[in-house]
Amino acid sequence: MSPSTDSIHDPHSAVGLRVTDVTRTFHRGGVDVQALKPVSLDVMKGELLTIVGPSGCGKSTLLQIMGGFDTATTGTVSTPRGSVTGPSRTIGMVFQRATLFPWWNIERNVAWALRCGGVNRRAALDRARELLDLVGLSGFETAYPNELSGGMQQRAALARTLSLEPDVLLMDEPFGALDAQTRELMQEELLRIQQVAGTTIVFVTHDIREAVFLGDRVVALSGSPGEIALELAPGLARPHTHDVMRSKEFLDAYEAVWACIQTGGRRGPVVAASSAAAGSTVGTP
């Protein structure tokens, strides 16, 4: 779907984040390396958009640009609040490694995020505990990060980022370093949390199954430099568990993405987001 033409600043707009013709070129040792070819997309409010692609296709770079941690060479990123020029509390980032501060326990880690937003100490701690409960960590509030497993650390990091109540949540392969079982658990947990909190999420991964499982919409980046090769909506009913991975909708979506990435990308129309529509998304190039 090409970016809709309605203005993002229109209060009735359904767009949470808009990327317009973003490219990124790095200068490495005197040589220019282009990481991203012009990328444009809209992230709708409340949706979980997954971006999937092989290593080196620039998906992490794109995410960093979306969050203001990196600057696009050309193009812009904007939200209803204005364009994104640097990191801010309105766009939260969850990194692949939890990056909780090891010198505090997790409730202090989360509370610190709130205090940075001006919340007083008592209220911050209370809210931190609520959020840790939301992500399923009640009982572990006073634990230190290096006493927790990888999955629990990521939950805590998620709680911290959620405390910002950001407009958009960016997640950079957050489950990549976890073992398979924990990863599946976390994926289901993420869906649950998103149902409750209603946050707009952009989730980057190299795992196609994860992308199709999680995404309301899936964007496939391919090639190096990266560009959007495919957008589709798997159309899986919410809520769902990993049983859905045997359904036809899932397998079709998976096939489509896989084939697309495999062949180096073809633009195709978006499949209608209904569970009945199970056709292949390989449209006319």
Partner 1 sequence: MRFPVRKILSPIVALFVLLGLWQASSLIWTFPAYFYTPTEIGSAWVASLDANMWQATWDTLFRAGVGFLIGTILALPIGAITARLRRVENTVEPYIGFFYALPKISLLPVLVVWLGYTDTARITMIAISVFFPVYVYMNAGVKGINPDYLKVASNLGAGRWTTFRDVLVPAAAPMAMAGLRVGLAISLIVTFATEVVGQSPNGLGRIIQDGFIAVAYSEMYAGIIMFALIGLAIDLALRLLTRNSRTLWGEAELA
Which residues are near partner 1 by CB under 8 A?
A: 67, 69, 86-89, 91-93, 95-103, 112-113, 116-117, 144-146, 148-151, 153-154, 157, 160-161, 164, 177-178
Q: CB 168 → partner 1: shortest distance, Å?
A: 12
Closest CA to 246 of 212, 271, 220, 280: 212
Q: Is 54 or 87 the residue whose CB approaches partner 1 more closely? A: 87
Nearer Cβ to partner 1 (38/150):
150
Q: Which is nearer to partner 1, 154 or 200 (CB)?
A: 154
Dist. CA 108–CA 253, nearest whole Å: 41
Beta carbon nearer to partner 1, 51 or 170: 170
Contact 186, 178 (CB under 8 A): yes
Q: What angle do CA 8, 35, 64 make, to 5 degrees?
A: 50
Q: What is the closest distance, in whole angstroms, from the C-beta atom of residue 159 to partner 1 in the complex?
A: 13
CB of 169 to partner 1, least distance (A): 11
Our CB check for partner 1 shows the closer of 132 and 233 to be: 132
The CA distance from 59 to 201, in Å, is 15
Q: How far is the CB of 57 from partner 1 (least distance, A)?
A: 21
- SS3 of residue 151 by DSSP: helix
Which residue in this structure is represented by tokens 């230190």?
Answer: 144
CA distance 33 to 194: 36
